[in-house]
Amino acid sequence: MKTISGQLQIETKGYSDIIDITSEVEEALKESKLRAGIISIICSGSTGALTTCEYESGLIEDLKRFFEKVIPENEAYHHNERWGDGNGFSHVRASLIGPSLTVPFNEGKLNLGTWQQIIFIDFDNRPRDRKIHLQIMGE
């Protein structure tokens, strides 16, 4: 059993920018040469989140609309009153979706469906340069 660490560097536009990171994760898995185990992925930062979806432009819009509906950008947030950075909505959205994702793999392949991609969502209210950590554990 081995532990192999990786990191992705991602430039985002912020404002619920939804980015498909599946091929980068698959590349890291391939390089690790591990066949069976898990990949634990995390966004270091409290305004980013990870989940999966079918990555197609219609659904990307539907997800953004959902976030704006349940956690609107322009409501009053105590966070904004205190810190003045205007990204209260970003923080609440990120805590809701969660910062991490664990994906098992077998025969060197992620256990995902054909139309299921790993997405990183940058909820912040400005472009960001993000670090995504990968921990690949297995044999």
Per CB under 8 A, residues contacting a second copy are: 1-3, 5, 36-38, 40-42, 44-46, 51-54, 56-59, 61-63, 66, 69-71, 77-83, 88, 91-92, 94-106, 111-113, 115-117, 119, 133-135, 137-139
CB of 71 to a second copy, least distance (A): 6
CB of 103 to a second copy, least distance (A): 6
CB of 13 to a second copy, least distance (A): 19
CA angle 91, 15, 45 (to 5 degrees): 40
Residues 6+ apart with CB under 8 A from 85: 79, 125
Q: Is 76 exposed, middle or buried (0-12, 13-18, 19+ CB in 10 A)?
A: exposed
Q: Considering the complex, state which of residue 27 and residue 70 has its C-beta at the smaller distance from a second copy.
A: 70
Q: Which residues pair with 52 in a beta bridge?
A: 118
Distance CA 97, CA 16 (A): 12
Q: Considering the complex, state which of residue 29 and residue 138 has its C-beta at the smaller distance from a second copy.
A: 138
Q: Considering the complex, state which of residue 10 and residue 38 has its C-beta at the smaller distance from a second copy.
A: 38
Place of tokens 């404002």: 15
Q: Which residues pair with 137 in a beta bridge?
A: 3, 38
CB of 16 to a second copy, least distance (A): 12
